[in-house]
A and B are shown apart, each in its own frame.
Chain A
Amino acid sequence: MSGSIDVRGLSRTFHTTVRRPGFTGALRSLVNPERVAKQAVCDISFDVAPGELLALLGPNGAGKSTTIKVLTGILTPTSGTARVAGVVPYEERERNARNIGAVFGQRTQLWWDLPVRESFAILRDIYEVPKAEHAARLKEFDDLLDLSSFWDTRVRHLSLGQRVRSDLAAALLHDPQVVFLDEPTIGMDVVVKEQVREFLRHQVEQRGRTVLLTTHDMTEVERLAERVVLINHGRLVLDGSLDEIRRRFGSTWQVRATLADAHTEVQPLPGIEVLRHEGARVVFGPASCEGADAPTVHQALKAVIERYEVTDIAIDEADLEDVMRAAYVHAEAA
């Protein structure tokens, strides 16, 4: 299917040599190396619809980059299958290359000694993009990423933010249906980050590109992703919308209410318990036994207002960072 990603039972095992500690250990490793198999990705299945932005999340070493490398055709899976825009990437690398664009963090694909615009021209000819089309796309990217202010500068003299913006443009100049972004905004300042997010939103909403994004920046996830796939130790832990994840791992809200009458008898509400009660001030939280079925903070707010007469009310909600931390801890324990 055009622009879709389909991953079924994907596994990838690496074989590495164990380096034993100390001088004797190093000698033993030299004479009798011990090889171990490390499963970086294990039986992962998910799909991404055309025009969807999916955040592939997980702690360091979870297997995110390995998954992306398989989907870009760089690595061949040990087992399982993957299709990107209808192409098996590791079997038809060149055909796949025309359908995809990729940015790997701070690793630039631009030519270090040349001005940015020269790199764009090289890529234009490699991807056989007609000149008029290239010029129009470059103008569109310039409007969004402000490239013209530095595109005559040699890559070695660019700031990190300028280089990543150039790399993003370079990855999309050939109009790929699918874009893989492996921690694209790592180390960038907030202004450039926002510019990049706006650019990505535009590419998804206006151009209909499918984007697979890995990041540790939860603000980015919150602002861009509709759906999240969480992997840990190479295994898929969760695949769902942000709301679903919040419901499952983010029930750490609190509703702080000041009652009109300090002598009101306060009772727990369905799915909501009283955490603290001091005079007129009451703090409600999700009932610990409810788990994933606990009411959302907005449902709780409504329930408290309907049941009690309050003079002041405020909510504290766990941000996505807390939610993901809880999800990682849960995945670790599992």
Chain B
Amino acid sequence: MEPRPVSFYILSAFFALFLLFLYGPTITIAILSFQGPGGGLTFPMRGTSLHWFRDLFEQQAVGDIWGSFRRSFALGLMVMVTTVVLSVMGGLAFRKKFKGSGIVFYLIITSLVIPSILISLGVGLIFSQAGLNVHWSTSGFGSQLTWTLPFGLLIMFAVFNRFDKSYEEAARDLGATSWQTLRHVVLPIIGPSLIGVALFGFTLSYDEFARTLLTAGSYNTLPLEIFGMTTNVTTPVLYALGTLTTVFSLLMIVLFLCLALWSTRRKARAGSDAGKGVL
């Protein structure tokens, strides 16, 4: 192998600094959440303790952290399932070049670039003028879909752009119906990417703030609860909560990545019988 140029070492250092920039602040609040009972929002650490985590599990003076966590989790799962199903359907639809597909495509791009507060404001106005109550599971759910669906669909477009049509043709030549082709050929091949779509669906919903601001109603989701805390909580309990939900997000990300890895391996094993054949 040819020796590394000098630029490699400079760029490596740059990359390391970038990672430090990306993760440093989060690691800092993770450390500070173990602040002793007398400690404040900045260094120095006044002892180490689990005081602030214990605080989280006690009755809160303001807000309802665990209720909002349960709501965010449920909403995340709802958005995830809907995003996966609708994105696959949409991805398949776009392969068929239906009439009006251009308009739908531009709507998806609009959905991606529209300032989030407009969705919040518009959906909130529609619900209030129609005399309906906004609720996280109705108006909040729909508003979040306008953020997760574009990502899901763009991933599906990318997947189907690379999809080898001859697999489907082979299945059809062997007499498979179009449903069988979809179920036994197309879905197993795109499976790992669907886990990616699910990851986007869940995490983007779980962390969404602006689009749920005016559409969640009287029961807050977790990001809204945390933002509310920033204005009236000035103790490291804020960091403890931040650390816990970040750890939760990281666990979900690792879970999804492991699933994706597992299903890619499984696909590789099941997808080819090369070398095992008996001519």
> Is chain B found bound to chain A in the same assembly?
no
